[in-house]
């Protein structure tokens, strides 16, 4: 099995196609695995007959990695993650809302100061009390991901809006906003862990409701609120 270093964890995985290509930047020579990923491709393909073997492999490996991530103080969020001046901003929403479109506006507005850490499924992990966002090989349809981490600055639950706005969310709106866009674990113990992660995000004031249009001004407006200048 090949060994990868993903989200500061050693991951043993034998894979192919897109997953293998996108994992290349994460190769490591370390020996002890924190997470071992083994996919049953035949079973996956019978579950998702309309998907190619490549897509099934990508979904299966992602699902295994992110489930196990819960055992290591971390969770996945279905989001496009942009890093600006070394800090991570995640935008989460159901597919088709415009997560990637919005983070591309940040790249246009902020140029070299910004890059996409992961365009679809960044990992979040708490290490010594700090929450970091990580690039992973699982970045959805695009290969936009980097093997880097950045301190979490904010999570925007994204919706389309004629007028650009961002406001901090609390309580159930924030909890459900995050819970709705992550993998819901099957086991109660893992659900407990996930809710513990969400508790830290919401209580830490990281969660925002964000409404954006497709004008370049959207990036500036949201950034100012989330970085505290708004």
Partner 1 sequence: MKVNRNFMLCEVAGETVVVPCGAAASDFHGMLRLNTTGAALWKMLENGAEEAELSAMLVKEFGADETSAAEDTADFLRKLAEIGCLE
The span from the CA of 61 to the CA of 66, in Å, is 9
Q: How far is the CB of 35 from partner 1 (least distance, A)?
A: 22
Strand (E) or helix (H) holding 130: strand 130-134
From the list 184, 215, 210, the residue with the least C-alpha distance to 197 is 184
Three-class SS state of 163: coil
Q: Which is nearer to partner 1, 6 or 44 (CB)?
A: 44
Three-class SS state of 179: helix
Cβ(37)–Cβ(4) under 8 Å?
no
Q: Does 195 bind partner 1 (CB under 8 A)?
A: yes
Among 176, 214, 216, 230, binds partner 1 (CB under 8 A): 176
Among 162, 163, 184, 229, binds partner 1 (CB under 8 A): 184
Q: Does 25 bind partner 1 (CB under 8 A)?
A: no
From the list 175, 180, 183, 179, the residue with the least C-alpha distance to 67 is 183
Q: Which is nearer to partner 1, 96 or 171 (CB)?
A: 171
Within positions 80 to 139, which residues make up the interface with partner 1, using CB under 8 A?
Answer: none
Q: Does 188 bind partner 1 (CB under 8 A)?
A: yes
State the residues that interact with partner 1 by CB under 8 A: 170-172, 174-176, 179-180, 184-188, 191-192, 195, 198-199, 202-203
């Amino acid at each position: 099995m090949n060994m990868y270093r993903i989200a500061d964890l050693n991951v043993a995985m034998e894979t192919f196609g897109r997953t293998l290509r996108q994992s290349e930047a994460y190769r490591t020579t370390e020996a002890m695995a924190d997470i071992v990923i083994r996919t049953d491709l035949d079973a996956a393909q019978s579950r998702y007959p309309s998907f190619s073997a490549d897509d099934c492999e990508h979904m299966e490996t992602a699902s295994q990695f992110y489930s196990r991530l819960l055992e290591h103080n971390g969770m996945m969020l279905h989001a496009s993650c942009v890093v600006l001046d070394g800090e991570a901003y995640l935008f989460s929403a159901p597919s088709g809302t415009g997560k990637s479109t919005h983070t591309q506006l940040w790249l246009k507005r902020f140029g070299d100061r910004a890059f996409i850490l992961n365009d679809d499924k960044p990992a979040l992990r708490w290490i010594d009390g700090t929450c970091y966002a990580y690039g992973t090989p699982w970045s959805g349809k695009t290969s936009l991901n980097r093997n880097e981490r950045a301190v979490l600055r904010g999570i925007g639950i994204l919706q389309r809006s004629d007028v650009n706005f961002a406001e901090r969310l609390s309580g159930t709106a924030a909890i459900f906003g995050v819970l709705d866009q992550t993998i819901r674990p099957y086991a109660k113990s893992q659900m407990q862990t996930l809710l513990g992660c969400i508790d830290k995000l919401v209580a830490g004031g990281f969660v925002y409701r964000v409404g954006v249009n497709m004008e370049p001004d959207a990036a500036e407006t949201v950034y100012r609120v989330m970085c505290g200048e708004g």
